[in-house]
Amino acid sequence: MNDPFRLDGKRAFVTGANTGIGQAIALGLANAGAAVIAAGRSSCDDTVSLIEQQGGQAEACAIDLSDPAKAADILKGIGDMDILVNNAGIIRRDDSVDYSETDWDDVMDVNLKAVFMMCQTFARAAIARKAGARIVNIASLLSFQGGIRVPAYTASKHGVAGLTKLFANEWSAHNINVNAVAPGYISTNNTQALRDDPKRSAEILSRIPAGRWGDPADIAGAVTFLCGGASNYVTGAVLNVDGGWLAR
């Protein structure tokens, strides 16, 4: 009997795979047997090396999602893929009354427009070859909450959740499952300043029923599940991996 949690023979494309959550996702998929293309604006050589050290298959791909159309063309040139994970994202902070059009456009291009175009390109190819496929988009707690001083990020992550559901509605008939994972407070470079601030860290931990910061591997496990046979009947879902933050 085939293990429904294995991904042997599958090819996966992971954006923002150079560090943090993206790197953990790439490692998780490779450990499950997938051949991984680790894509990012910064070098993903470290991720490839880690995967190869564990006996997995990987290669790096340079991609800049600030130009969504060019990024989609790069994906098109990669060849047949079974799994797409849209993890890359950026954030710009300022009061909404002062938020610049440049910051708005930059965030929306990477976090939402690029996600749409990457999914569109990936799905066109999968539908054309009549092959089942999986898409996992990385959403956020701010797909559900408003946040403060991050208007473009909040709008983009609400959009990611909405697109995930729309794609699931349109593409499930083609055996393309589309889901999202919404990470909570995860221990990465992006949260280092928060974790180093005793007051803010304590405030955050007091709201998390699990009582700890998440580990990038926590996100990788959820994504790997959504990419394999164990989740065959899961599509259009936004899975919170937040230690209970949203249940509080």
Question: Which tokens hold the place of 129?
Answer: 């070859």
Of the candidates 124, 113, 100, 11, the one whose C-alpha atom is nearest the C-alpha of residue 69 is: 113
* Phi-psi category of residue 211: left, alpha or beta, with phi > 0 → left and psi -120 to 50 → alpha: left
The residue annotated as part of the active site, out of 99, 153, 185, 233, is 153
Give the span between the Cα atoms of 13 and 86, in whole angstroms.
8
- In the residue annotation, 233 being an active-site residue is answered as no
Known catalytic residues?
153
